[in-house]
Structure 1
């Protein structure tokens, strides 16, 4: 399978000097490669789609089941489904009394060496032709899938057993899979040509687009209402003219789920739902980003409007060895959900077998709640005890943008406003202050926890001629700067306090007091740099970021709950002032650490910093009124 997957991702191109070059196909380059789906993922998806459909069925009733992979690649999912069907049939026949299934014109079983029961080749062929269907745009993939399935038909057979069965049944050993596994574009139908002259598309483009008419290619399936199950790992490719073409993109924009940053797997989810019959099942492995992103709300709405979501399984670990993509499994039933239906949510920390995935205890979330929510967000993170804690924090305290204001830094140049020459020569930058228009500039690397260390020493001519211009009140006075790239320990925010006038890159976020801000920016700095806020951030992000979130966004920062202070309460004012004392201490300690000359001095200062960090964390827990068990949730998180 892995060899086939890599082979299918390549194309041979003849260069101008007549050399043959093997290179990635354009769509593979765009996706970052072709990735082989691990066997345990295939088996779990098959078990929860095909397995569910086979419950309480007999082999006779199972003959009518149709299982499709609409982007079958080398056939991993179809092989998995076929193997599941073979195992299920053998188990059923043996449990039903094997001897009676060895008789008749078309026996299902025969007794092999040592008395073990086997499905006859005839039965294996019948199951394959009845139940397994696949489509792929790549003709090589189609042939590889056919070959893989035919080899599976012959698995465990010998020349002797094949000849014996051929004599009995007078039929060829291998079936013709041309009616089951087909080459075509699963997403583009013949209506692509509506209103177009056929000669407007050259032969090469027509072959590349490769339109596919589902209803004429599989008439018996659609006369019965559609496929019973759709399974697979659809391609993850953000669509662009360079890898798909203008005409195809215009067509694909007709999909109801299509919107900004359209990815092929979004369309395959809609197509999968459209292809299954009423009460049919779908199981995919896809990136998890679409569950919460703002610009995939149409996709979520389409799923909510057309299906019952049975299960979503989130992988906290990377499933594909060579791909840095966080994935999820989604299982749907094509039926409208009952009012009280709950979606099963599973989180896999490191499961690597079907049994381990099966054994994960699910949390339950109301599908109706998602359907009524703003943006139809599929929130799978705020669950269990952690979920109760996060909900409490979000409900009890105001958002950061209600008690202060936040913004990105400045982007000096952009092709929409500046010439190539201006950008190349960085015309607004200088190594010294040339006149009063110039401000000192900070880069992301200059900002860390409780410390600013300006390294490069550049100045920038500041004004409306820059691409992103901020009014001067953003760049002066008491405020907080936060590096966009987060740290990797338990205290991930890289935030510091500043009063001097600086311009800074977009790689730095700034938080400034608003007209209604009463607390000190140093008080807010202590909260942001605390362990609690690092714990909380991944749960408020629009993106399904890992708990070791790599970077911050202004939109997510604004949603963080901030403990406001009632200055009419002496007790609350005391907590506020205590935080300022601790933050002042941290600012001084980090400055001393940066200037320390000896290892011994650095060790002593780091110990004081660690102690003060713990004091700040403890104070933040008190401010947010956390119980010992809630504190334990945060402290015990890896």
Structure 2
């Protein structure tokens, strides 16, 4: 377990303090990248480098930077570790800003302690004066940088497009942080800005309306707006960092991994791959204890060529540790596929994305719902994702909704329709066909089919398959385990390959749905279900990976001689023939199929 800073997280403020192991790697890597990018490497270079953490917290990133710069300066100058050298690093190399007074106080205290670790050459009062100058309280996102990268001066009192002046906003809403006044040595020279910007900015929808108005009217990059934009504060910190950075600088942030995959961060991904020049991403997994969040570390060099692949490294146990992802997957605004490989490159052109989407159900107020069915509360209500299983329902999680309430809320059409449902909070689809007379809630999504020629039962077999599970788990959610919602863009990105011979899929879906409906299946019935499931998986594997249609043709021929109205168990007996079993085994023994079956997260 990596060391963690003393105050770990605050959900209210969106602040989660960084494990020291991650902060150390990010900061050292960024400093090394900056050094390697300098034409002249000498003592003056390290003396003048400026490192900023714009959401400094308790100072873990700056403490790493201080120690690493001390090491580098001692090596380069063959100097001794002295109190004066440490004070020099504090006064010239390190800068921090935070909105919270207690964070600023703690960061200053830790930096003073660091400066006094080996020597008492300077009195505490002198060190205190230095850190008070270098670590400032303020709102990093609001206030002029005096940079031509920003549209105008935020403090000039001009009126923005909403009709309110910035000076009025200053008086009524917040105090802008003037970077030029707070850090004059950084912004009053020929090359203004910071060389290295690192940190773990807060995240979540935390911005006030005034802050949003300021950002909208002054930032030169709009990561907000529309379904592909976001007001998540982490994205705005990326935008802000770009305006504070020197042309040859480095940015490295820890951000939520949802930035890599959800629709609302499409503009952010394009910004990362384009203007920010992201060159490496580390999948950190779940670094925060007792927090349901997964993170990535992004390393950016805006001045480097932007046509190369992006290095991807993983800290997830059992996951491939190094990969190279094409920059184009980011620039197009689609899901950033961190674990991109030749198989994904092969599958995507064969299918079509955007054929389906997922829409979250509506939550019904508790006063109109009962746990047990009764007079006036008779409509089955699948409110929880746990009520949805592959090809079936788990009715112990059902509730019952008020009949008259549905009519007043325009839910009658939903009740009277048949369509695919899936669990919302899942990395991959788990589908069942909703019958008429039922409604679903917020923990469940309906699968909307945009191509009228596609049969929902055919798509049900495809979406319930292990092939699609693998596509979603590895490529579309980047092995994420937490906060994966199918209605955030995952479903739309599934490349659908619709079969030329759909009838076997329809028959298999109907048979499986009937069999999964049995509450207490016998051992024989359970075996039939498993056999049909394997056949369905083999069909989809053949569809996506295998040249030829041997299996689907054999099953189609078999179904033509079966009465579709027969008992599903007898149907299963007729389908599971020696010929079909042999063909199925050939598909399942395909080398790529075996690779998929033995991949992480496929065994559960």
Structure 2 length-normalised TM = 0.74
SS of equivalent residue, structure 1 residue 239? coil
Distance 1:144 1:503 in 2: 52
Are the counterparts in 2 of residues 4 and 144 from structure 1 also a CA contact under 8 Å?
no
The Cα of 1:547 is off from its aligned counterpart by 5.6
Q: Does the aligned pair in 2 maintain the 1:447–1:483 contact within 8 Å?
A: yes
Q: Are 2:575 and 1:614 equivalent residues in the alignment?
A: no
* 1:331 aligns to 2:299 (yes or no): yes
Task: Describe the superposition over 1:435-486 as per-residue Cα deviations: whole angstroms up to 9, x where unpaired.
Answer: 9xx96655445442222465545463487632556478x714xx54334344
Superposition map of 1:239-638 within 5 A? 239-240=206-207, 244=208, 246-254=209-217, 255=219, 256-260=221-225, 261-304=230-273, 306-315=275-284, 317-335=285-303, 337-338=304-305, 340-350=307-317, 360-366=321-327, 370-371=330-331, 373=332, 376-377=333-334, 379-381=336-338, 383-384=340-341, 388-399=342-353, 401=355, 408=359, 411=362, 425-426=367-368, 441-444=381-384, 445-452=386-393, 454=395, 455-456=398-399, 458=401, 460-461=403-404, 465-467=408-410, 470=413, 475-476=417-418, 479-486=419-426, 493-497=429-433, 500-511=436-447, 516-517=452-453, 521-538=456-473, 541=476, 546=480, 550-553=484-487, 556-566=490-500, 572=501, 576-577=503-504, 579-580=505-506, 582-592=508-518, 594-596=519-521, 601=522, 605-626=525-546, 628-638=590-600
Aligned: 1:85 with 2:108: no
> Looking at CA atoms only, which structure, 1 or 2, has the larger radius of gyration?
1
Question: What residue number does 2:50 align with?
Answer: 66
1:612 positional shift: 3.3
Q: 2:29 aligns with which of 24, 48, 60?
A: 48
Counterpart of 1:221 in 2: which secondary structure? helix
Distance (whole Å) between structure 1 residues aligned to residue 59 and residue 363 of structure 2 = 50
TM-aligned CA deviation for residue 77 of structure 1: 0.6
Give the Cα separation in 2 of the matches to 1:4 and 1:498. Answer: 50
- In the alignment, does 2:136 pair up with 1:194? no
| Alignment of structure 1 residues 110-259 onto 2, 5 Å | 119-157=81-119, 162=120, 174=127, 176-177=129-130, 178-189=132-143, 191=154, 194=157, 209-222=174-187, 223=189, 224-240=191-207, 244=208, 246-254=209-217, 255=219, 256-259=221-224
Specify the SS of the correspondent of 2:249: strand
* C-alpha separation in 2, matches of 1:331 and 1:509: 35
Q: Following TM superposition, by how much is the alpha carbon of 1:504 offset from its aligned partner in structure 2, in angstroms?
A: 3.6
- 1:441–1:502 Cα contact (<8 Å) kept: yes
Q: Deviations over 1:481-535 (max 9, x none)?
A: 3343449xxxx6432345554444354444588885376x544332222111212
Contact kept in structure 2, 1:538 and 1:549, CA below 8 Å? no
Shift of 1:618: 2.0
Partner Cα distance (1:199, 1:390) in 2: 53
The answer on whether the counterparts of 2:357 and 2:448 sit within 8 Å (CA) in structure 1 is yes
TM-aligned CA distance change 1:250 to 1:551, over 3 Å: closer
Two-structure CA RMSD over aligned residues (Å) = 4.1
**Counterparts of 1:156 and 1:548 in 2: how far apart (Å)?**
44
Deviations 1:223-244 (A, max 9, x none): 132111111111123125xxx4
Find the aligned partners of 2:104 and 2:340 in 1 and give their Cα distance.
42
User: Against the structure 1 CA distance between its residues 546 and 470, is the aligned structure 2 distance closer, same or farther, given a 3 Å change threshold?
Assistant: farther
Quick one: distance in 1 between partners of 2:448 and 2:103? 56
Q: Deviations over 1:187-222 (max 9, x none)?
A: 2226358366989988xx77xx34321112222222
| Counterpart-to-counterpart distance in 1, 2:465 and 2:334 | 28
Q: Following the alignment from structure 2 to structure 1, what is the Cα–Cα distance between the partners of residues 410 and 90?
A: 61
Verify the 8 A CA contact 2:82 2:118 in the aligned structure 1.
no
Q: Which structure 2 residue ranges, 5 or more long, are not aligned?
A: 145-153, 159-164, 547-586
**Unpaired runs of at least 5, structure 1:** 10-27, 95-107, 110-118, 352-356, 414-422, 567-571
Structure 1 residues 462 and 439: CA distance shift in structure 2, 3 A: farther
SS in 2 for 1:595: coil
CA deviation string 1:48-83 (max 9, x = no partner): 211223346222331111111111111111100001
Q: Distance in 2 between matches of 1:331 and 1:461?
A: 55
Whole-angstrom CA distance in 2 between matches of 1:362 and 1:286: 19
**SS class of match (1:229):** strand
Kindly indicate whether the alpha-carbon contact (under 8 Å) linking 2:16 and 2:202 is maintained by their aligned counterparts in 1: no
**Deviation of the 1:284 alpha carbon:** 0.9
**1:292/1:377 contact within 8 Å kept:** yes
Pick closer, same or farther for the CA change 1:320–1:126 going to 2, 3 Å.
same
Quote how far apart the aligned CAs of 1:331 are: 1.2
SS at match of 1:312: strand
Partner Cα distance (2:205, 2:169) in 1:
26
Q: Per the alignment, do residues 37 and 450 of structure 1 end up closer, same or farther by CA in structure 2, a change over 3 Å counting?
A: same
1:274 positional shift: 1.1
Give the length in aligned residue pairs.
526
Does the residue aligned with 1:321 lie in a helix, a strand or coil? coil
TM-score under structure 1 length normalisation: 0.71
Given the superposition, is the C-alpha separation of residues 4 and 582 from structure 1 closer, same or farther in structure 2, using an over 3 Å criterion?
Answer: closer
